[in-house]
Amino acid sequence: MKYLIAGLGNIGSEYAHTRHNIGFDVLDALSGASNIFFEDGRYGFTCTIKLKGKTLILLKPSTYVNLSGKAVDYWLKKHKLPIENLLVTVDDLALPFGVLRLKPRGGDAGHNGLINITEVLGTSNFARLRFGIGDNFPKGTQVDYVLGQFSTEEKSTLSSRILLAGDIIKSFALSGVETTMNLYNNK
């Protein structure tokens, strides 16, 4: 059984480790724990992790967050995967920092990456792992906040939250979305 795990972010050193790139950071931690490295491929960087008879194809789209749908669609089709085997990891302003929320489907909550994926795939019936980045910014500075670095206080617990996100991804592949939600949502 194969799964496509897409972590959203923007390519380029100026975006590295920003709030908007948390999807990249989660996949980097997951691949690093297995000592597996990403390779540059069509529409993104990918690597494959084997996990108890399951194959996880990790994808970091190179299309920028707002055009992630093209990459996700390409890799789903390339591996002939059903939409149920897709999990998208994104930053979420509506959740407090570090809160992780897995959902089997849902709206885009104004996230341009989710909007584009939904438009390209023609459905919002795909799982998403939302990583809370909080909304602690003055009115009119959302873009700077999202594209900014985590605060010193946030960085003190960021690694543990990223590792927990990796555990959620592995559970999604091994146990399914419903069981994983019951185990991890609200932790």
Span 109-115, average pLDDT: 89
Tell me the domain boundaries of the chain.
2-184
Q: Is the pLDDT of residue 102 over 90?
A: yes
Buried b (16+ CB within 10 A) or exposed e, 6-33: bbbbbbeeebeebbbbbbbbbbbebbee
CA terminus-to-terminus distance, the chain = 28
Distances in whole angstroms, Cα of residue 87 to Cα of each of 13, 72, 149, 157, 163: 25, 10, 25, 24, 16
Structure tokens at 151: 């605060």
Q: Tokens 């592995």 — which residue?
A: 170
Separation CA 166–CA 118 (nearest Å): 23
Active site residues: 20
> What are 38-75's pLDDT values in tens digits?
999 999 999 999 999 999 999 999 998 999 999 999 99
Q: Which residues contact 153 (CB under 8 A, 6 or more apart)?
A: none
Q: Tokens 């089997």 — which residue?
A: 104
**DSSP 8-state class, residue 109:** T
Q: Where are the beta strands (DSSP E) in the chain?
A: 2-7, 39-41, 44-51, 54-61, 86-92, 100-103, 127-132
> What are 12-26's pLDDT values in tens digits?
999 999 999 999 999
Q: Which residues contact 18 (CB under 8 A, 6 or more apart)?
A: 10, 146, 147, 148, 149
The fourth-level CATH superfamily of domain 2-184 is Peptidyl-tRNA hydrolase (3.40.50.1470)
Span 143-166, average pLDDT: 95
Please report which confidence band the pLDDT of residue 187 belongs to, taking 50, 70 and 90 as the band edges.
confident
Look at the pTM and tell me if it is higher than 0.85: yes
Least Cα distance to 102 among 163, 172, 162, 157 occurs for 172
Span 152-181, average pLDDT: 96
